[in-house]
Amino acid sequence: MHHQKLEDYRKNKLDEMMIAELQQEMETGKLTSEELVLMYKENISLRDTHIHAVLEVNPDALLTARALDFERKHKGTRSNLHGIPLLVKDNMDTGDGMHTSAGSLAMADHYALRDAKVVEKLRAAGAIILGKTNMTEWANFMSDKMTNGFSSRGGQVKNPYGPFDVGGSSSGSAAGVASNLAVAAVGTETSGSIINPAAQNSLVGIKPTVGLVSRTGIIPLSHTQDTAGPLARSVEDAVAVFAALIGTDSEDVITVLADQFIGRDWKQHLKSDGLSGVVLGLDRQLFKEVPDDQAKAFEAAMGQLRACGATIKEVDIGTEQEDLGFAVLLHEFKADLNAYLARSNPDHRIRSMSDIILYNEEHAEQMLKFGQNLLQQANSMSGNLTEREYVEALERNRFLAAEQGMKKQLQQAGADALLLPQDFGCNIGAAAGFPSITVPAGLTAAGEPFGITFAGQAFDEPKLIEYAYAFEQAAAGRRRPS
């Protein structure tokens, strides 16, 4: 495409295009993957100066796109992600010319030795890793005073919709996709880190069941709760990326559970009548703190859900769980991060959590804007996960969140899933390792993105996708930033 034509395409057509549309354009020769990368790179250079969503652009992106265009022409496509530019969060190893730093300047010159398993899977599917996204430093487990989306390496990710919380910790992944800097992105969640920024940026976010997606090569927080998942502008696109991420990995034993979903046709779950006859559980205790304008938006969304054929039923998940997860994260962070660093590139000087804390103290002006009390607290644990407090917290979490909580309460109410506003209450499913999916539901009166979240039990993704898709088709709640 001629330069001027490409510029017109970028300005007038590219924004909000979906994977299927882009594939159609590439299949009919109207567009190449190389041109797609050029246009998104241009969007990054024009729009990201004040959003700070992208930490670095992949220096190999254009070359990869060219190779994939050649492959399309001569061999055909590898999958529906062939030639599609995606962004990945900066806690995912890329064994290429980009760094992997979890947003920390202490890791800013760290090159991973190989791709994280999820990155490897995306590349195998023909996706292009366009760049790495800014994130709340150390997945927001550095200081309890830190703002969502801040990192010493990338500065503050801004919400493209206005002076609102950008959400986190997958902040750049969300703000970047909302701003049309790529087609979709991959983030990670331990508790809320996909659902929260997706909802704050008018996106679909899928937080999978722990065990469906490998964590190998992802800078960890908690092996009990960590998972990767997609952020996209539509349910269909989120599902396309999600399908590519699923799979077993001998290095992450919990993924044996992923077998049941391999090769599944996810398209069958994109059903406009997916909410017909569905019972959604609502626990008002979980969101007593919801601001008025969000409460209004939520009431409107519930009206739309009922119009789609859903019944909403009050449930009581139990509120003694408000601090679910914290003790477990505190203990696992040290053990898991030290294990990651021990296996990391031997050329890199940071080998342990103690090294990070020391680096931060030595560079206090740059590093300790919000302090590092969570890092210090985590580092005071043994790191070998033998403490009784840890073992008991793990049991208690699982019991309260799963057995006593979602499993029991949904069953008693005869409910298919839990309905939540934004990410309120999503820590319960996270502590249980359960899946959730958030879908845009318009903007509040103040112009802040609002989303509703469907939370289910282990491996309920097919159902949740049906509910999300049906709501999306009826509500069309995604808004572009102006």
Domain assignment present for 371: no
What is the Cα 441 distance to its own chain's centre?
18
Q: Quick: pLDDT tens for 5-59.
A: 999 999 999 999 999 999 999 999 999 999 999 999 999 999 999 999 999 999 9
Q: What is the pLDDT of residue 318?
A: 81
| Amino acid in position 323 | D
Dihedral, CA of residue 375, residue 381, residue 383 and residue 388, to nearest 10? -140
Would you state the structure tokens that stand for residue 299, as one six-digit string? 């009431």
Would you state the structure tokens that stand for residue 320, as one six-digit string? 């003694």
State how many domains the chain has. Answer: 1
Q: What are phi and psi of 187, to 5 degrees?
A: -120, -175
Tell me which residue has tokens 């959730």: 436
DSSP annotation of 401: I
Q: What is the pLDDT of residue 319?
A: 61
DSSP annotation of 126: T
Q: What is the pLDDT of residue 8?
A: 98
Q: What is the pLDDT of residue 259?
A: 87
Rg over alpha carbons for the chain, rounded to the nearest Å, is: 21
Q: Is the pLDDT of residue 320 over 80?
A: no
Question: Which residue among the candidates 33, 193, 214, 344 is catalytic per the annotation?
Answer: 193
Packed helices 326-343 and 388-398: angle between N→C axes, nearest 10 degrees = 110
Domain assignment present for 381: no
Domain assignment present for 412: no
159: CB partners within 8 A, 6+ apart: 165, 166, 167, 175, 200, 201
Q: Quick: pLDDT tens for 59-115.
A: 999 999 999 999 999 999 999 999 999 999 999 999 999 999 999 999 999 999 999
Instruction: Find the mean pLDDT for residues 452-478.
Output: 98
Find the domain containing 228 and state its range.
3-269
Average pLDDT, the chain: 97
Question: Which residue among the candidates 33, 104, 169, 202 is catalytic per the annotation?
Answer: 169
Domain assignment present for 482: no
- CB-count exposure of residue 284 (10 Å: 0-12, 13-18, 19+): exposed
251: CB partners within 8 A, 6+ apart: 117, 214, 216
Q: What are phi and psi of 229, to 5 degrees?
A: -170, 165
CB 55 within 8 A of CB 132: yes
CB 197 within 8 A of CB 231: yes
Q: Quick: pLDDT tens for 412-451.
A: 999 999 999 999 999 999 999 999 999 999 999 999 999 9
CATH number at residue 254: 3.90.1300.10
Tell me which residue has tokens 């609102």: 164
Tell me which residue has tokens 């500065």: 155
Instruction: Find the mean pLDDT for residues 301-315.
Output: 98
Q: Quick: pLDDT tens for 392-417.
A: 999 999 999 998 899 999 999 999 99
Q: Is the pLDDT of residue 168 over 90?
A: yes
Q: Is the pLDDT of residue 286 over 90?
A: no
- CB-count exposure of residue 380 (10 Å: 0-12, 13-18, 19+): exposed
Q: What is the pLDDT of residue 325?
A: 79
| pTM of the predicted structure, to 2 decimals | 0.98
Q: Quick: pLDDT tens for 123-156.
A: 999 999 999 999 999 999 999 999 999 999 999 9
Q: What is the pLDDT of residue 287?
A: 87
| Amino acid in position 256 | V
Tell me which residue has tokens 């919990």: 254
Q: How far apart are CA 143 and CA 149, in angstroms?
A: 13
Active site residue 89: yes
Domain assignment present for 424: no
Active site residue 169: yes
Domain assignment present for 481: no
Question: Which residue among the candidates 33, 41, 89, 207 is catalytic per the annotation?
Answer: 89
Q: Quick: pLDDT tens for 351-406.
A: 999 999 999 999 999 999 999 999 999 999 999 999 999 999 999 999 999 988 99
Q: What is the pLDDT of residue 1?
A: 75
Q: How far apart are CA 288 and CA 281, in angstroms?
A: 16
| Amino acid in position 448 | E
Domain assignment present for 212: yes
Q: Quick: pLDDT tens for 216-246.
A: 999 999 999 999 999 999 999 999 999 999 9
Q: How far apart are CA 204 and CA 186, in angstroms?
A: 12
Instruction: Find the mean pLDDT for residues 284-312.
Output: 95
CB 309 within 8 A of CB 279: no
Domain assignment present for 160: yes
Would you state the structure tokens that stand for residue 430, as one six-digit string? 């996270």
Q: What is the pLDDT of residue 114?
A: 98
Q: How far apart are CA 300 and CA 178, in angstroms?
A: 23
Q: Is the pLDDT of residue 322 over 70?
A: no
Would you state the structure tokens that stand for residue 57, as one six-digit string? 């652009």
